[in-house]
């Protein structure tokens, strides 16, 4: 994996009101940017304007607002402002422009910092954030409304189902959190339904034997420990946790996050249709319920991984394209 300093694109709308994060979080950003040596560029995309004089005026106004916002956060010198004109137009032109910038400038991570309106609502209702998550060739970090910030090295959580897409996301997540000294909790939630609703060949309801769940649990523990060893070899302190539940694994994930003072949750979300993601995905429920930061490897980023490399996967976990 690459060991070059991270290149972060901070997608901002300087015209959005009430954008200032808590001071404690600003300090955390500065510490992360400084210690990791990351190159951070705050980018705002302005609409296409065929009139050169009006376009130049709009560009200057946006740049001045962006620069003032960065100075207000005390990040002048860490974050470089940049205003880009939408080159494509239409409903998704701004996203397509940003995706192009991500490729040209070799960006590793996109951060979404809009706090003016309830960002989860905007994301669910077909917003800029939705399209960017779907199309971005790199992970997107959505900033929570009340993220936990401590003076200690941050604790991050990566829930996994041990799928190929989760492994691909895990490897990228390990590389990126390594740069700011994070400690990782790898969590697997094993679902044991109270009533097994399987059916025998005769159509009669059948229970799977208890030994099946014992073998399944042992297999999950072994798999989890192998992932932890991978993280440690990459220089990330990691620990494996396994929890059991009958339903609602997202509730277990959030409880674990709060119990351990987690700063950031990392997930893979590779479904290609956002409606499916909204209706059934655990990662989406985390968006809705979590107050902390959520790092997501979406379908565009997963597709880029499959196109450019073969992620190292554990036995039995072969990557498949997004459905």
pLDDT in tens, 198-251: 444 444 445 556 676 788 889 999 999 999 999 999 999 999 999 987 667 778
pLDDT (0 to 100) of residue 172: 95
Can you give the residue ranges of every domain in the chain? Answer: 7-116, 155-308
Residue 283 clears pLDDT 70, i.e. is over it:
no
| CATH class of the 7-116 domain in this structure | alpha beta
pLDDT (0 to 100) of residue 18: 59
**What superfamily does domain 155-308 belong to in CATH?**
HUPs (3.40.50.620)
pLDDT in tens, 114-171: 444 444 444 443 467 778 888 999 999 887 655 545 555 688 999 998 988 899 999 9
What is the reported pTM? 0.80
Residue 319 clears pLDDT 80, i.e. is over it:
no
pLDDT (0 to 100) of residue 190: 84
> Which band of pLDDT confidence, cut at 50, 70 and 90, is reported for residue 48?
confident
Of 169, 177, 123, which Cα lies nearest the Cα of 145?
A: 123
Higher pLDDT, 30 or 301: 301
Higher pLDDT, 200 or 252: 252
Higher pLDDT, 227 or 70: 227
Residue 9 clears pLDDT 90, i.e. is over it:
yes
Do residues 302 and 269 lie in contact, with contact meaning Cβ atoms separated by under 8 Å? Answer: no
Mean pLDDT of 41-68: 88
| Structure-token pair, residue 78 | 């860490």
Least reliable range by pLDDT among 8-17, 23-32, 76-85, 220-229: 23-32
Mean pLDDT across the chain: 77
Highest mean pLDDT among 77-81, 100-104, 126-130: 100-104
């Amino acid at each position: 994996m690459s060991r070059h300093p991270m290149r972060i694109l901070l997608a901002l709308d300087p015209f959005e009101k009430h954008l200032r994060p808590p001071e404690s979080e600003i300090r955390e950003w500065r510490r992360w940017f400084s210690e990791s040596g990351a190159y951070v560029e705050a980018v705002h995309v302005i609409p296409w304007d065929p009139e050169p004089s009006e376009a130049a005026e709009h560009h200057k106004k946006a740049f001045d607002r962006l620069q003032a916002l960065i100075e207000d956060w005390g990040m002048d010198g860490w974050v470089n402002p940049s205003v880009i004109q939408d080159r494509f137009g239409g409903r998704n032109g701004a996203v397509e422009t940003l995706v192009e910038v991500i490729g040209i400038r070799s960006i590793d991570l996109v951060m979404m910092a809009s706090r003016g309106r309830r960002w989860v609502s905007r994301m669910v209702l077909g917003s800029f954030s939705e399209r960017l998550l779907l199309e971005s060739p790199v992970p997107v970090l959505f900033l929570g409304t009340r993220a936990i910030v401590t003076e200690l090295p941050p604790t991050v959580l990566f829930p996994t189902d041990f799928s190929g897409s989760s492994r691909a996301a895990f490897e990228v997540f390990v590389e990126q959190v390594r740069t700011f000294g994070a400690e990782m909790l790898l969590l697997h939630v094993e679902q044991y339904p109270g009533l097994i609703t399987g059916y025998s060949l005769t159509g009669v309801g059948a229970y799977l034997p208890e030994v099946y769940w014992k073998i399944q649990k042992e297999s999950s523990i072994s798999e989890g420990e192998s992932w932890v060893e991978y993280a440690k070899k990459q220089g990330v302190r990691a620990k494996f946790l396994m929890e059991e539940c009958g339903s609602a694994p997202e509730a277990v994930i959030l409880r674990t996050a709060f119990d351990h003072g987690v700063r950031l949750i990392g997930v893979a979300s590779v479904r290609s249709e956002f409606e499916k993601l909204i209706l059934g995905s655990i990662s989406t429920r985390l968006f809705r319920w979590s107050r902390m930061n959520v790092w997501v490897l979406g379908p565009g980023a997963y597709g880029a991984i499959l196109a450019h490399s073969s992620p190292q996967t554990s036995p039995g976990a072969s990557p498949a394209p997004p459905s």
